[in-house]
Amino acid sequence: MWAASCLASCCAACACDACRTVVSGISRRSARIAYCGLFALSLIVSWILREVAAPLMEKLPWINHFHKTPNREWFETDAVLRVSLGNFLFFTILSVLMIGVKNQRDPRDGLHHGGWMMKIICWFILVILMFFVPNEIISFYESISKFGSGLFLLVQVVLLLDFVHGWNDKWVGYDEQFWYVALFVVSLVCYLATFGFSGLLFHWFTPSGQDCGLNTFFIVMTLILVVLFAVVVLHPAVGGSILPASVISLYCMYLCYSGLASEPRDYECNGLHKHSKAISTGTLTLGLLTTVLSVVYSAVRAGSSTTLLSPPSSPRAGAGKPLLPLDKADEQEEKEKNKPVTYSYAFFHIIFSLASMYSAMLLTGWSTSVGESGKLVDVGWPSVWVRILTGWATAGLYIWSLVAPFLFPEREF
């Protein structure tokens, strides 16, 4: 007994030392990656609790105060939502605190980049406290999470458009034949993949002998949008590039597949129903991976503009001269402190807040029934329509990005 106690104490001490070492190694440049790591940790915790926390939560009287105990799926959903709410509050509080940070002299700049041990402790406390709040608060958070998730999906769309336009501009900027050929090859591959993918969708989701008009409409509508992208891009008045159009086309077809794959497993037009468990696990893994990558990219891209929520200070470093002369070291330090921030800290944390809502909806199937096995993820008609509408929103935003400069030439886009 004594030996076991000593071993546990040693393990705890080693763990604390390891955490302290990792936290102290987080520099100013790696702070954004550290936030992404903390978000990824919240996803892992949510996933684990979704699988194992239900028996324990059934015994908590302030959670299970019903006359009739809900089924296991209700407690799984509740556990995910409570972790998500703690994560949402953590990043929302940081976002509010960071509003108005203009330069590195602001004390809140140090709070954003440092104090990691305290921030991790606060994150754990917030997550734990969420398991003591009333069910009514969790129900309200569940409702608003659907809207927050929609906003996050729109952010993803905007970031994708930003990415493909930046990719195209970079390769065109080289102004060499090799890069023009590369543009053509990549565009051709994307279009071949798009139309090949559409053929698979017809095969999987419009089986013969079944009335699958809705699925046919979704697929045909996506193909019409793909053709419309090419027509608009190739119009002389627009003068766009085929690469962004091909990438957006492939993405819209993927969203169409994602929506159709989310149809209930007992729906006769869902050809994946025979592989429900395998598909649900793959959907979850791909969805979580996509979410983490989206958040990482969002965090990096959010840093490219300080005009959102936290505009940069107009005075440049060194504009105001000190009353007393400084030596070179102090002068250099003064210049560093007066540097404007390189990105909006408030918007940066808002991205994580919205992603917390989205990941909760992903893990709970948008808080709908999780199926007979209790293991299906992101399945149900709400998931279907969210994906389909996101694809249409992507198409609309992309077409707008093409025609807006032509319709309003006096404005800068």
- Sign for the pseudo-dihedral over CA of 345, 346, 347, 353: positive
pLDDT of amino acid 143: 85
pLDDT of amino acid 231: 92
pLDDT of amino acid 333: 53
User: Going by C-beta distance under 8 Å and a sequence separation of 6 or more, which residues neighbour residue 397?
Assistant: 157, 158, 161
User: Going by C-beta distance under 8 Å and a sequence separation of 6 or more, which residues neighbour residue 156?
Assistant: 294, 298
User: Going by C-beta distance under 8 Å and a sequence separation of 6 or more, which residues neighbour residue 190?
Assistant: 243, 246, 247, 249, 250
pLDDT of amino acid 312: 39
DSSP 6-41: HHHHHHHHHHHHHHHHHHHT--STTHHHHHHHHHHH
pLDDT of amino acid 329: 52
pLDDT of amino acid 19: 44
List, run by run, the mean pLDDT of 10-residue segments along the chain (413 residues): 44 44 54 86 88 83 77 84 94 92 84 90 94 89 86 82 87 89 94 95 85 92 95 84 92 89 80 56 64 65 45 38 49 60 84 88 66 48 84 91 81 60
Phi, psi of 270 (to 5 degrees): -90, 105
pLDDT of amino acid 374: 40
Question: What is the rounded distance in angstroms from the CA atom of residue 138 to the CA atom of residue 280?
Answer: 25
Phi, psi of 340 (to 5 degrees): -70, 150
pLDDT of amino acid 245: 93
Specify whether the CB–CB gap between 32 and 297 falls below 8 A.
no
